[in-house]
Structure 1
Amino acid sequence: MSREGLAAYAAHDEHTRGRGHAEDLPAFRSEFQRDRDRIIHSTAFRRLVYKTQVFVNYEGDLYRTRLTHSIEVAQIARTIARALHLHETLTEAICLAHDLGHTPFGHAGQDALNERMRAYGGFEHNLQSLRVVDELEERYADFPGLNLTFETREGILKHCSLNDARTLGEIGERFIKRQQPSLEAQIANLADEIAYNNHDLDDGLRAGLITLEELREVPLFSAQYERVHAAWPKLSGRRLIHEIVRRMINHVVTDLIVTTGEAIAAAAPANIDAVRTCPNALARFSPSVTAEHLQLKKYLRDKVYRHYRVLRMTRKAHTVIGDLFDVFYARPELLPSEHHQAVLQMERQAGEHGRARAVADYIAGMTDRYAIIEHERLFDPAKRS
């Protein structure tokens, strides 16, 4: 154990693989603190407050957004990282950055943009998050992007095709070599699953898409419902739901900490590089909790994400994103001037692929609200430009 309380297999600031552009060491912060702070101060992070988790922005003020989701993921992951003696700040930075490249309207927006981009290399929000921190943020005089450390960037890129990996240099090597990321990255990935499963359930209840009685068919929910009901038989409303959901989160987080601790002890990695060369990820749930989590995911897919009200919203989102791409690709002069210039520059560099990527960058950076406004400006004759 290091003097900071970190395990040998954790990421250590002094052993970072560094940044793409050399910088002086921070005076009063660690390297990973600097990454975390840059992410929080980025334009893309602020925009997450008006980007959808499941429900479109105008559906209500109390549903999760990409910003609240990212903060909730970070809080879950920090608890796990601390319990396992991993680097808590690096874990937090990865969680806060993991959705920076998400389109407006959640996965419906991504699907629509990917459909339009299929002939130009496709669109994937995970790769776009890396693109945001590497290239698109404009904050520093010496370099584009945020110039984050390798370890933070490694955690942001959760999955990647071999074709894409070959274009990404060092950050893509683990996908080619079939290696693992750091344990901090592995924890961030699973914390994301925990957060969206439990909080989408909460939002689904708030929206009236599902009921408590229906959810009692789901083992992970039912077990905690029975415990809460036995302790407080008259508890109802939001307090009942919150008590159940927080216990569900505690149940899977505890299991993840215990099971991952056992896997680490069995593998006994000497350092972070030994973690990367393990044949399988060390962060994991037990088989029983894995099964419970999969049952909950299936329930949410069938009852929430495929609910007719959600499908109607996603259909609208698909139309908005598709229309915006089509008109801006055909007529880039309709873009705001700085984005028009970006299209021209990227088109000079990469032809039609460059033009399409620049248009996708502009659309992916929109909030739900701004995408709707832009669509109205372009397609509603009654709206002023």
Structure 2
Amino acid sequence: MNTLASYACNPLHSKARRFAEPVAPTRSDFQRDRDRIVHSSAFRRLVYKTQVFVNHEGDLFRTRLTHSLEVAQLGRSIARALQLDEDLVEAICLAHDLGHTPFGHAGQDALNECMRPHGGFEHNLQSLRVVDRLEERYPAFDGLNLTFETREGILKHCSRSNAELLNAREPGGVAQRFIDGTQPSLEAQLCNLADAIAYNAHDVDDGVRSGLITMAQLRDAVPLFERYYEATLADWPQLAVPDAQRKLLYESIRRMLSEQVYDVINSSRARLESAKVDSVQDVRLHGQVLIVFSDEMKAESQRLKQFLFKQLYRHPQVMQTMDGAQQVVRELFTAYMVEPERMKPRFVQRVREASTLNDRARVVADFIAGMTDRYAAREHEQITGLSLLGVP
């Protein structure tokens, strides 16, 4: 069993839940958070939400669900080495994308555009809305009633204006740090980095599998990949033949992932020792993030990210699909604002209770953000008669 470091979040000293509940006899509060997330409807819907490729484009491409599982695996591995609370890390990692729209970042951008006159849309804020309000599982409260520490980690980004709105409803709550300029827990910091490590690696895999990028391009433009590609071939020269290219890619990615994980562990240990933090409060008041890459690995990781942005995320084939996806989101938003009766009954009821246009728009945004790719595409086709994405 992992012994927690003094600066790790201890479930026995949690800042608690918004609504008091009896302690579970066999699970810590952070374990209960993780279990509630896994059993939530929003978590199940992630299996049909885009990571890079729309779900129907291939059975083996990552989805938001498989991405979240990979982030959680990386997070737990690093947490164990640093003696952080693994259950809290896993809970945050599994929940970090619960508020993501269908069609990935393209869907988020389109919904944010629609919501700009009504307060905007951001998936980190939406993830918090999901666990605080939108999940309906318990008779005593809305949402999942997660601990402060899990909710803090879910709220990865937040503008000053949104933080002030959240803080007005929950004084001293999870948004306070964005006003004070303090840091989140080490477990939350770790999830942010595990997210970046995971999507860089699996987007390389999916990009090559799709044929939109090649290993030759990666070798030319990304030193981090080139290094482990060459090391793999040096150890396994038989992988140079065409029929072994999948194994060559997997092993290169595996080594690249492992090196990034070890780099985070070693760099974070060094920074924690230098910072001389001895408690969670010390971590929060420290002026810098303490879970980090080395400067060299940070630069290499950034170069990989830039390559993927240019060559994969902005590939004409991906952009064409995402243009259609954005049209779906925009036209769904317009349709539901005009005819809210087209939404599910509980959202129709919320529209009837809305006192302002902004409140009405937020209900529509909640409904659309909760959709899977294929549900959104089918709803759009039913409303407009257009089949933009070819979803079966």
Query: Given the two structures, how large is their TM-score scaled by the length of structure 1?
Result: 0.97
| 1:91-240 map, 5 Å | 91-169=89-167, 170-217=173-220, 218-235=222-239, 236-240=244-248
Q: How big is the shift at 1:79?
A: 0.4
Q: Deviations over 1:43-94 (max 9, x none)?
A: 0000000000000011011000000000000000000000000000000000
Q: How big is the shift at 1:4?
A: 5.6
For 1:180, give the aligned amino acid: Q
For 2:376, give the aligned amino acid: A
Structure 1 residue 254 and structure 2 residue 255: aligned? no
1:6 matched to which residue of 2? 4
Instruction: State the distance in 1 between where 2:231 and 2:150 align.
Output: 39
For 1:255, give the aligned amino acid: D
Q: How big is the shift at 1:234?
A: 2.0
> Is contact 2:33–2:147 with CA below 8 Å preserved after alignment?
yes
Instruction: State the distance in 1 between where 2:266 and 2:23 align.
Output: 36
| 1:209-358 map, 5 Å | 209-217=212-220, 218-235=222-239, 236-345=244-353, 347-348=354-355, 351-358=356-363
1:36 matched to which residue of 2? 34
Instruction: State the distance in 2 between where 1:308 and 1:381 align.
Output: 22
For 2:214, give the aligned amino acid: T
Instruction: State the distance in 2 between where 1:256 and 1:156 align.
Output: 21
5+ long unaligned stretches in structure 2: 168-172, 388-392
Alignment counterpart, residue 362 of structure 1, candidates 364, 367, 379: 367
For 1:229, give the aligned amino acid: L
For 1:359, give the aligned amino acid: V
Instruction: State the distance in 1 between where 2:233 and 2:344 align.
Output: 56
1:60 matched to which residue of 2? 58
User: Aligned with 1:171: secondary structure?
Assistant: coil
Structure 1 residue 45 and structure 2 residue 49: aligned? no
5+ long unaligned stretches in structure 1: none
Alignment counterpart, residue 24 of structure 1, candidates 22, 25, 29: 22
For 2:190, give the aligned amino acid: I
> Is contact 2:92–2:188 with CA below 8 Å preserved after alignment?
yes
Count of matched residue positions in the alignment of Structure 1 and Structure 2: 377
Q: How big is the shift at 1:353?
A: 0.5
For 1:187, give the aligned amino acid: L
> Is contact 2:332–2:380 with CA below 8 Å preserved after alignment?
yes
> Is contact 2:2–2:80 with CA below 8 Å preserved after alignment?
no
Q: How big is the shift at 1:338?
A: 2.0
User: Aligned with 1:54: secondary structure?
Assistant: coil
User: Aligned with 2:174: secondary structure?
Assistant: helix
User: Aligned with 2:237: secondary structure?
Assistant: coil
